A and B are shown apart, each in its own frame.
Chain A
Amino acid sequence: MKSSVIIFPGSNCDRDMDVALKKFGFKNQMVWHNDNSIPKSDLIVLPGGFSYGDYLRCGSIASKSKVIKSVIDFVNSGGLVLGICNGFQILTETGLLPGILQQNKYLNFICKNVFVKVKDKKNKYFKDIKKDILELHIAHNEGNYFCSNDEMKSLEDNNQIAVTYCNKNGDEGDENNPNGAIKNIAGIFNNKKNVLGMMPHPERMIDKYLSGEDGSLFFENLLRNLN
Chain B
Amino acid sequence: MEVTEKIAVEHGLKKDEYKKICDLLKRVPNITELAIFSAMWNEHCSYKSSRKHLKKLHTKGKHVIQGPGENAGVIDIGDDDAIVFKIESHNHPSFIEPYQGAATGVGGIMRDVFTMGARPIANLNSIHFGSPQHKKTKNLLRGVVKGIGGYGNCIGVPTVAGQTSFDESYNGNILVNAMTLGLVNKNKIFYSKAAGVDKPVIYVGSKTGRDGIHGASMASATFDDEIEEKKPTVQVGDPFTEKLLLEACLELMAGNSIIAIQDMGAAGLTSSSVEMASKGKLGIELNLNKVPCREEKMTPYEIMLSESQERMLIVLENGKEEHAKKIFDKWNLDFAVIGKTTNTKKIDLLFDNKNVASIPIDFLAEDAPIYDRKWKKTKLPQKLKFDKQQFKSLNLSDCLNKILSSPNVSDKKWIWDQYDHTVMGDTIQKPGGDAGVVRVHGTTKAVAASVDASATYCFSHPLTGGKQIVCESWRNLISVGAKPIAITNCLNFGNPEKEKNMGEFVECVEGIAEACKYLDFPVVSGNVSFYNETKDKGIKPTPAIGGVGLIKDYQKMITMDFKKSGNIVYVIGKTEGHLDQSIFARNILLEKKGPPPSINLFNEKNIGETILNLIDKNLIQTCHDVSTGGILTAVSKMCIKGQKGLKINSFKELVNKHEYFFGEDQGRYIIEIENTNIKKVNDLLKKNSVHFDNLGVIQDKNLSFNGEMNLPIEELTKTHKYWLKNYMEN
Contact = CB atoms under 8 A, between A and B. Distances in A.
Nearest to B728: A108
Interface stretch (A13-21, A119-127, A168-176, A181-189): A13-21
A137 interface: yes
A10 B419 contact: no
Interface residues of A, number: 30
A87 B439 CA distance: 26
Interface in B223-281: 238-241, 243-244
Interface in B384-420: 416-420
B424 interface: yes
B428 A109 contact: no
B114 interface: no
A141 B239 CA distance: 15
Contacts of A15: 424-425
B598 interface: no
Contact of B154 (A10, A16, A112, A211): A10
A41 interface: no
A50 B417 CA distance: 18
B418 A108 contact: yes
Given A111-B417, A209-B439, A10 B423 contact: no
B156 A49 contact: yes
Contacts of A52: 240
5 contacts: A10-B243, A20-B425, A48-B423, A53-B238, A111-B419
A9 interface: yes
B570 interface: no
A55 to B, nearest CB: 7
List 4 A-B pairs, minimum CB-CB distance, nearest first.
Answer: A12-B156, A53-B240, A16-B425, A50-B154
Interface string B127-158: 00000000000000000001001100111100
B331 interface: yes
Nearest to A204: B422
Given A9-B331, A111-B419, A139-B420, A53 B154 contact: yes
Interface in B426-449: 427-428, 430, 439
Contacts of B613: none
Contacts of B424: 15-16
A16 B423 contact: yes
A111 B418 contact: yes
A210 B428 contact: yes
B650 interface: no
B378 interface: no
B424 to A, nearest CB: 6
A110 to B, nearest CB: 6
Interface residues of B, number: 31
A137 B331 CA distance: 30
B421 interface: yes
A108 B420 CA distance: 12
A213 interface: no
B153 A109 contact: yes
A135 interface: no
A206 interface: yes
Contacts of A12: 154-156, 243, 423
B675 interface: no
Contacts of A9: 240, 243-244, 331-332
A213 to B, nearest CB: 13
Nearest to B555: A209
A54 interface: yes
B247 to A, nearest CB: 8
Interface string A83-114: 00000000000000000000000001111100
Interface in A191-223: 201, 203-204, 206, 209-211
B425 A109 contact: no
| Residue from the set A10, A54, A111 with the largest chain B CB neighbour count within 10 Å | A111
A90 to B, nearest CB: 15
B554 interface: yes
Contact of A53 (B239, B417, B421, B428): B239
Contacts of B149: 109
B441 to A, nearest CB: 8
Given A141-B153, A210-B428, 10 more contacts: A15-B425, A16-B425, A50-B156, A50-B240, A54-B240, A111-B153, A111-B422, A206-B425, A209-B439, A209-B555
A55 B425 contact: no
B371 to A, nearest CB: 43
A49 B424 CA distance: 11
B156 A110 contact: no
Contacts of A50: 153-154, 156, 239-240, 243
Contacts of A141: 153
Given A12-B156, A50-B240, A50-B243, A111 B555 contact: no
Interface string A28-64: 0000000000000000000011101111000000000
Contacts of B417: 108-112
B418 A139 contact: no
A166 B333 CA distance: 43
A53 B419 CA distance: 16
A209 to B, nearest CB: 5
A162 to B, nearest CB: 22
Interface in B154-179: 154-156
Interface in A135-163: 137, 139, 141
A41 to B, nearest CB: 22
A132 B422 CA distance: 24
Nearest to A201: B422
A175 B417 CA distance: 16
Contact of A109 (B156, B331, B420, B422): B420
A203 B240 contact: no
Contacts of B554: 209
B285 to A, nearest CB: 33
B375 to A, nearest CB: 43
